[in-house]
Structure 1
Amino acid sequence: MTSEITYAEVRFNKGPTASGIHPGSLAAPKQRTTPHKSKLDFPKLLLISLLILFLLLAITFFTTFIKKVWSCCPKNWKPFSSNCYLISTESKSWHESKHHCSAMEAHLLVINSKDEQDFIIQNLKNNFAYYVGLSDPEGQRHWQWVDETPYNANVTFWHAGEPSDRDERCVILNYRPQTPAAWGWNDIKCFQNQMSVCEMMKIYL
């Protein structure tokens, strides 16, 4: 009797190698990632610059708008340039007129230009005289404005022949129809009762 010998092929599956890669398999190549600059960097920078410029323009516009729109004068005061003016309805001495203006946180009129002079006389009555904030306290012809603005002899509106008397130490603005300028300055004694004009800065809200 012939015996048959059967051979069985047995294969052992080995575990993973120390490297963690099965035999026969190829290691996956590592990909290097290189940083790259974003294409949005320049547009972002431009956008930020434009936003900053827009913000600055908006602030400038807003400030100018507020200054123009919300500057005002108290009731019955007349606006001109950056100031407000009140024509008095009572006759007082120069010093009383000065205190009257001060009580309203204002001062007697200080005239710094022909434009201001022209604006004032448009609002005055020809049959009255009005104290302004110019005086000569010592009678030495050293004229002084009440707000300490330097007296500028090149910007004055004296009538012809005025000032005329060292004892007349206060100044009025009055009308002389026979003169070419009509309205002008005249020195008088400070105790005389006259109308006056008060001046103050505009109120900014």
Structure 2
Amino acid sequence: MTSEVTYAEVSFNNESKSSGVNSSAASKARAAPHKSNAGFPKLLCASLLTLFLLMAISFFIAFVIFFQKYSQLLEKKTTKGLVHTTLECVKKNMTTEETAWNCCPKNWKSFSSSCYFISTESATWQESENKCVRMAAHLLVINTQEEQKFIIRNLEQNSAYFVGLSDPEGQRRWQWVDQTPYNESATFWHEGEPSHTSERCVLVNFRYFRGWGWNDVPCYDRQRSVCEMMTIHL
């Protein structure tokens, strides 16, 4: 009897240990899902942080590209609108309390309220006018004898220069390029000019023993020219 009781106790004790082992394993098994659930938020946060960084980098790159393109476009527009980059100015007293600056582009000549550019390149009348327009000017318009005298003092006698006077229809209806009315009493034609209806454009040239004057010539002739623009006030 005694040995049977001892065996029963031993068996009971072994059963208890085994149960303890199983309980511990079960506890670990139940604890495992908790560890897995705890790591998921960390992974999610890391993924969101990475996504946010990628979006921020992409936005920064897009902003840099946009800024470069905008700067280039702005520079092109600014350059296109900027015709004269260097001016030469003189003071003009308006009143005793007010002073203004009269400016002309560099290498232009100033007279009264206008600036003049004397071209040394030969071109047709229309090409010459187009060149003046690109410089925010037009071919020379002569309104007074003083202006005529100023211009011819700055010209070379062995060259001829287109001015902004033409007869588009060949009917002797002379027109200035800036729509200034043509004044017969303020003209400086050479003797015998204008001479032919097919010669519809006007230039100023020098004739020996006669001096400077106007002459009508074909518009396709290639001559030098004079551009004119209003002075710039600052």
Q: Same fold (TM over 0.5)?
A: yes
2:96 is the alignment partner of 1:61: yes
Where structure 2 has 5 or more consecutive residues not aligned to the other structure, the ranges are 1-93
Q: CA-to-partner distance for each residue in 1:130-162, whole Å, 9 max, x for gaps?
A: 000000000000000000000000000000000
SS where residue 127 of structure 2 aligns?
A: helix
SS of corresponding position for 1:142 = coil
Q: Which has the higher contact order (CA 8 A, sep 6+)?
A: 1
Distance 1:191 1:176 in 2: 21
Provide the residue aligned with 1:189 in structure 2.
218
Equivalence for 2:106: 75
Give TM-score, length-normalised by structure 2: 0.59
Pairs within 5 Å for 1:104-143? 104-143=135-174
Structure with the higher strand share, 1 or 2? 2
1:202 maps to 2:227: no
1:145 aligns with 2:180: no
Report the Cα offset of residue 89 of structure 1: 1.5
Offset of 1:72 from its aligned partner? 1.1
Which residue does 1:21 correspond to in 2?
Answer: none
- Partner residue in 2 for 1:51: none
- The runs of 5 or more residues in structure 1 that have no matched partner are 1-58
How far the C-alpha of 1:60 sits from its partner, in A, is: 4.4
**1:120 Cα shift?**
0.1
The CA deviation at 1:61 is 2.8
1:174-204, Cα deviation, whole Å (9 max, x unpaired) = 000122xx00000000000000000000111
**Residue of structure 2 in register with 1:91 after alignment:** 122
Structure 2 equivalent of residue 29 of structure 1: none
Question: What is the TM-score of this pair, normalised by structure 1?
Answer: 0.67
1:162 partner letter: E
Quote the Cα distance in structure 2 between the aligned partners of 1:104 and 1:126: 25
Moved >6 Å (runs of 4+): none
Residue identity opposite 1:161 in structure 2: G
Aligned length: 141
- 3-state SS of the aligned residue for 2:185? coil
For the residues of structure 1 that align with 2:154 and 2:118, how far apart are their CA atoms? 8
Q: Give, as a single letter, the amino acid of the residue that structure 1 aligns with 2:189.
A: W
Higher relative helix content:
2
Give the secondary-structure state (helix, strand or coil) at the position aligned to 2:123.
Answer: coil
